[in-house]
Amino acid sequence: MASRNNIWANLDWLTIGFYILLVFMGWINIYAAVFNEEHSSILDMSQRYGKQLIWIIAAFALAGVLILIDSKFYVSFAFPIYLATILMLVGVLLFGSEVKGAKSWFQIGGFAFQPAEVSKLATALALARFTSSYNFKIEKMQSIMVIGAILAIPVALIFLQNDTGSALVFAVFSLVLYREGLSGTILFLGVLVALVFILTLILQPLVTISLLTAAAIIIYYFINPKFLLALKAVAIAATIFMALWLSNTLLKLAIDTNKIILISAILASIIFTVYALRHRINQLLLIIGIYLMLVLMTFSVDYVFNNILELHQRARIEELLGIKSDPLGVGYNVNQSKIAIGSGGLAGKGFLNGTQTKFNFVPEQSTDFIFCTVGEEWGFIGTTSVILLFLGLLIRLIFLAERQRSVFSRVYGYSVACILFFHLTINIGMTIGLAPVIGIPLPFFSYGGSSLWSFTILLFIFLRLDASRMEKLSY
């Protein structure tokens, strides 16, 4: 058994170094973002930077406590913690208070607490616990179902709280599962679905479906490189569509062009299915299946987009995709954020010399848009340094996860890396106009105790697991 002293020595101080550096840089930038001359002391407790310092100190203390907790605790209590979190998520729906349209906060005295923050940690623990159990096999349907349930329950509850941003974070667990053997096809399908969703919003259905048809034929050609066959397929698809379209026009049937496209796609699929069944070509069946699914999806996208997404979410996506441009409205934040970052230049305007992140040009400048302050005052050198620091931390976390002897620790480690990855991708992406505006914080950087603490807990549980990786984790 490792003694307490060994635990401190076994900690990965490189990761802790990354952590401290990021937290410190965040604090400095919060100071710059809300700087005001009347309270120019960075220790002024009436200001956000003063409060952030208190939260940082508390986070360090929290980290120290987590290191002292035996790592077996997390294994034994993974499921109880998960269950408690689910109960809290239900509780917040019933008794929580609403902040900015999301009913996701518990207000206890002056302290606000968001169960969704904890749910990422709890889900990571539950996932790690389940995938490390003996009867887990990623190929087994039963295992997939359990994993689906572990993920779906918190996601559904968080969606009900109207906190889409936090719910989307759970998508990143698919990357963790990929490492544990989830088929790459499923991951690829997920990306494909997202791609088609975006294409449908930008392009006409005719173009999208033509592209999909072409893609299906090309993919099949790569699997079974017979040029004549591919050409035949193109001819068949085109003939069906032209026949339908011509009869519609000539007979003045007044059928919607979109319906004709859909009908031709389905007719073509039927023909190819019959062909595939007769020749027993399984790959072709799979391609047709995926193809049909995506075609149907293009027709449901409009419905999802217009009926399921909320107005502001739709507007943000439209803005991002350039469908509608509204630089003073929805696009305002991103536009101001890009101006702030862009005006930083190579070396930045210098500490406290930003003009755009002062005066509240950029809203939420100390929370979700803290990266703007980095961009404006520290320039390209500053933004690149922050991104490289984060990348360094992520790569280090993968390295640490891979050296674990237990599946539990590895899965948990990947979860930590992937959750951080998702946050910083969306957060930095939205400030530079590459991701929709989803209100999620930049880990360790953004102002706020709740987010700093939850990322600290997330990370330090893993560092504790890593420090005792030589111990056998028994259940």
Contacting residues toward other proteins, per CB under 8 A: 36-38, 175, 178-181, 328, 332, 336, 338-346, 355-356, 358-361, 375, 379-380, 383-384, 387-388, 390-391, 394-395, 398, 401-402, 414, 417-418, 421, 425, 428-429, 432, 434
Comparing CB distances to other proteins, the nearer of 298 and 336 is: 336
Contact 161, 95 (CB under 8 A): no
Report, in Å, the least distance between residue 412 CB and other proteins.
15
Report, in Å, the least distance between residue 8 CB and other proteins.
28
Comparing CB distances to other proteins, the nearer of 159 and 380 is: 380
Report, in Å, the least distance between residue 327 CB and other proteins.
10
Closest CA to 71 of 128, 21, 144, 138: 128
Query: What is the dihedral sign for C-alpha 218, 219, 222, 225?
Result: negative
**SS3 call for 324:** coil
Report, in Å, the least distance between residue 203 CB and other proteins.
23
Report, in Å, the least distance between residue 408 CB and other proteins.
14
Residue type, 238: A
Query: What is the dihedral sign for C-alpha 362, 364, 368, 373?
Result: positive
**SS3 call for 253:** coil
Report, in Å, the least distance between residue 71 CB and other proteins.
21
Alpha-carbon distance values, 180 to 184, 290, 420 (Å): 11, 24, 19
Alpha-carbon distance values, 130 to 82, 194, 291, 348 (Å): 12, 28, 33, 48
Alpha-carbon distance values, 81 to 60, 77, 87 (Å): 22, 6, 10
Comparing CB distances to other proteins, the nearer of 88 and 430 is: 430
Kind plus residue range of the DSSP H or E element containing 108: strand 102-108
